Structure 1
Amino acid sequence: MKTSIKLLSLLFVLNISACKQTSKKELNINEETETAQSVENEYKIPKSWIETRVANANKRLNATEAGKVLWDAMEAHGGLDKWYGNGYFSLRFNYQPVNGKGIRDSYQTIDTWSNKARHNSITDPTSIFGWDGKESWIKAKDSTSFAYDTAFWALTPLYFSGHPFVLDGEGVNLELLPETVFQEEKQKVIKATYNAGTGSAPDDYYILFINAKTNQVDAIKYIVSYPKYFPEGGHAPEKTTVIQGRTEVDGIVFATGFKTYWSTEKQNELGEYITKIDVSDISFSPTVEEGFFSKPDGAVSLD
């Protein structure tokens, strides 16, 4: 009887382990570099390029008080060198509005150097969409596979899970705001805006609450000004998303979840709770399939 129980327990553990790896296997993301792997499939950013980009960011950011706060946050989250040097970034991002409408759950892989992305549906791994750096594309079984704007969503999860690193780049303007107390913790506060023509929504802004003790991001205020949603200008009301738990993967500290609220007029207070986000299966990989981010045969361009 004891032997049977042990065998059943072992089978249960193996089954759980296999389920956790399913999304990675479906995408054919290699955990190890194989000697037979084509060079074209490898993360090809030269170390010297990463060193130069990090050195330039260090110099630029430490020239201002707001930049110093951001740089310290990047260091506290593992460092910009690891962010760019670890390889392709993958995660499952499950966005769940509390009203049950507009749930978005996908497993995605991102090229952090050039902001390319590819998603696959959790329920139907053959349904995929992505951004290759120039155009958005989708290949889905039918219109129900992704009941949301996939062009907008291709890089959106990166602007949750990728903070503070995603604020490294041209066209980003930083402003140091007064310190505040949020959820009984003293916070350094910086606001990031964008120059005209930067990205697909240059009127967006982010306000980062950075814990004064840990230098890690505790919360982010943001708006959505995506021109397709607001062709006459303007934006959605401000939201505040609060980090829920942390984990370290290959030296980088990530949030394992977020709770999002409508913002209020008071900077350190939260309004109505509107969205739960779970983040899991976080990993970095040195390789992906050749042409992984490019529009595959049978896909439709969204641009």
Structure 2
Amino acid sequence: MKTTSTLLGLFLVLSFVACKEAPKKEIPSVNTETETVASEYNIPNSWIEKRVEKAHIKLDSTEAGKVLWSAMEAHGGLEQWFANGYFSFHFNYEPLSGKGVRDSYQTIDTWSNKARHHSMTDPSNSYGWDGEEAWVVAKDSTSFTYDTQFWALTPLYFSGQPFVLDGQGVNLELLPEQEFNGEMQNVIKATYDAGVGSAPDDYYILYINAKTNLVDAFKYIVSYPEYFPNGGHAPEKLTVTQGRTTVDGIVLATGFKTYWSAPKEKDGMGEYITKITVDDISFAPTVEDNFFSAPEGAEILNK
């Protein structure tokens, strides 16, 4: 795991970014002489080993779980994923319609799924999830034209595959092997127990390359109750990995293309609807105290 003064400086700048301005798609400049971060998360190796062992025992008990574990290993390993610490990346979600663009730089606590985002157009606008409260700091109603509470952890379920399926309340099913983009794929479906997360009716269907064990694509639905108060969900989508990079031992996608799912079309790909780019990816073991907590003056969204 690599920790550089640049990474530490980046986290410090983000924590004070409400007082700064930056041009679009740029992270504010780093002053490497700024005092070091105040605290560490201090997760012991024994904790990581215990969680990984528990996940391995669970996954090794089913054929679907074995496929998922093999994918985790191919992507760098669940132990490395947790040991690397805080996961930061720029995630730019661009619907081809031009509506609903979601462009933010975010830091994720991979151990307990907390998040903090900063707008790339104006980093003084931010939002996050501290494990209990969803919060937002915005200049006006145009700062974020989407549901920030829902979106706080959503990018993790793109960029964090397959590791995000290790937890309790996740149910796996092995589906028939199929060909996708000229390669045979092991296919698993992940569903959730009632009450797990903000949208327990969501599901993911992962296409895991039978030769490389890397995640080539995944299908999913959105059933977030705020969007569908009377039940139901959006039509199924298919997201395809576009390029990969390795950061601190973890193999991650550098982008995605999302299509409407169309089972009768070649490879099940219907209309191309969203381009996603992922860059400025890093891991670091430290952030400041209360990094994910609502800052002074923030609006609490889930009162």
Do both share a fold (TM > 0.5)? yes
Kindly indicate whether residue 25 of structure 2 is the aligned counterpart of residue 27 of structure 1.
Answer: no
Whether the aligned pair in 2 keeps the contact of 1:88 and 1:109 (CA below 8 Å) is yes
Indicate the SS of the match to 2:71: helix
**Superimposed CA distance per residue, residues 159-213 of structure 1 (whole angstroms, 9 cap, x where no aligned partner):** 0000000001111000000000000001000000001111110000000000001
**Superimposed CA distance per residue, residues 68-126 of structure 1 (whole angstroms, 9 cap, x where no aligned partner):** 00000000000000111101000000000001000000000000000000000111111
* 1:181 maps to which of 179, 182, 193: 179
**Superimposed CA distance per residue, residues 104-151 of structure 1 (whole angstroms, 9 cap, x where no aligned partner):** 000000000000000001111111100000010001111111111100
Indicate the SS of the match to 1:242: strand
1:271-290 matches, cutoff 5 A = 271-290=270-289
Mark the runs of 5 or more structure 2 residues left unpaired by the alignment.
1-6, 17-29
Amino acid at match of 1:83: W
Match of 2:68 in 1: 70
Q: 1:31 to 1:221 in 2, by over 3 A?
A: farther
Match of 1:244 in 2: 242
Q: Structure 1: how far apart are the matches of 2:8 and 2:207?
A: 34
Q: Structure 2: how far apart are the matches of 1:177 and 1:189?
A: 5
Q: 1:259 to 1:46 in 2, by over 3 A?
A: same
Q: Structure 2: how far apart are the matches of 1:28 and 1:298?
A: 15
Mark the runs of 5 or more structure 1 residues left unpaired by the alignment.
1-19
Whether the aligned pair in 1 keeps the contact of 2:37 and 2:288 (CA below 8 Å) is no
Please report how far the alpha carbon of residue 25 of structure 1 lies from its aligned counterpart in structure 2 after TM superposition: 6.2
Amino acid at match of 1:48: S
**Superimposed CA distance per residue, residues 200-246 of structure 1 (whole angstroms, 9 cap, x where no aligned partner):** 10000000000001000000000000011111110000000000000
Q: Which has the larger radius of gyration?
A: 1
Q: 1:284 to 1:153 in 2, by over 3 A?
A: same
Kindly indicate whether residue 111 of structure 2 is the aligned counterpart of residue 113 of structure 1.
Answer: yes
Whether the aligned pair in 2 keeps the contact of 1:43 and 1:88 (CA below 8 Å) is no
Indicate the SS of the match to 2:176: strand
Q: Structure 2: how far apart are the matches of 1:31 and 1:262?
A: 44
Q: Structure 1: how far apart are the matches of 2:280 and 2:189?
A: 30
Please report how far the alpha carbon of residue 265 of structure 1 lies from its aligned counterpart in structure 2 after TM superposition: 2.5
Q: 1:177 to 1:290 in 2, by over 3 A?
A: same
Amino acid at match of 2:297: G
Q: 1:53 to 1:175 in 2, by over 3 A?
A: same
Q: 1:215 to 1:139 in 2, by over 3 A?
A: same
TM-score, normalized by length of structure 1? 0.89
Whether the aligned pair in 2 keeps the contact of 1:26 and 1:125 (CA below 8 Å) is no
Amino acid at match of 2:244: R
TM-score, normalized by length of structure 2? 0.89
Whether the aligned pair in 1 keeps the contact of 2:8 and 2:286 (CA below 8 Å) is no
Please report how far the alpha carbon of residue 26 of structure 1 lies from its aligned counterpart in structure 2 after TM superposition: 3.5
Q: 1:31 to 1:79 in 2, by over 3 A?
A: farther
Match of 2:263 in 1: 265
Indicate the SS of the match to 2:287: coil
Indicate the SS of the match to 2:199: coil
Match of 2:4 in 1: none
Match of 2:20 in 1: none
Q: Structure 2: how far apart are the matches of 1:240 and 1:35?
A: 45
Amino acid at match of 2:55: A
* 2:217 maps to which of 216, 219, 229: 219
Please report how far the alpha carbon of residue 153 of structure 1 lies from its aligned counterpart in structure 2 after TM superposition: 0.4
The percent of aligned pairs where both chains have the same amino acid is 69
Instruction: Please list every run of at least 4 consecutive aligned residues from structure 1 whose deviation after the TM superposition is greater than 6 angstroms.
Output: 20-23, 29-32
Q: CA RMSD in A?
A: 2.2
Amino acid at match of 2:94: Q
**Superimposed CA distance per residue, residues 21-65 of structure 1 (whole angstroms, 9 cap, x where no aligned partner):** 997664159999x99643xx2132111010000001111101100
Amino acid at match of 1:183: N
Give the paired residue count. Answer: 281
Q: 1:31 to 1:199 in 2, by over 3 A?
A: farther
Whether the aligned pair in 2 keeps the contact of 1:23 and 1:107 (CA below 8 Å) is no
Indicate the SS of the match to 2:286: coil
1:79-228 matches, cutoff 5 A = 79-228=77-226
Match of 1:9 in 2: none
Please report how far the alpha carbon of residue 266 of structure 1 lies from its aligned counterpart in structure 2 after TM superposition: 3.8
Q: Structure 2: how far apart are the matches of 1:31 and 1:200?
A: 38
Amino acid at match of 2:75: H
Whether the aligned pair in 1 keeps the contact of 2:12 and 2:288 (CA below 8 Å) is no
Amino acid at match of 1:175: E
Q: Structure 1: how far apart are the matches of 2:37 and 2:117?
A: 23
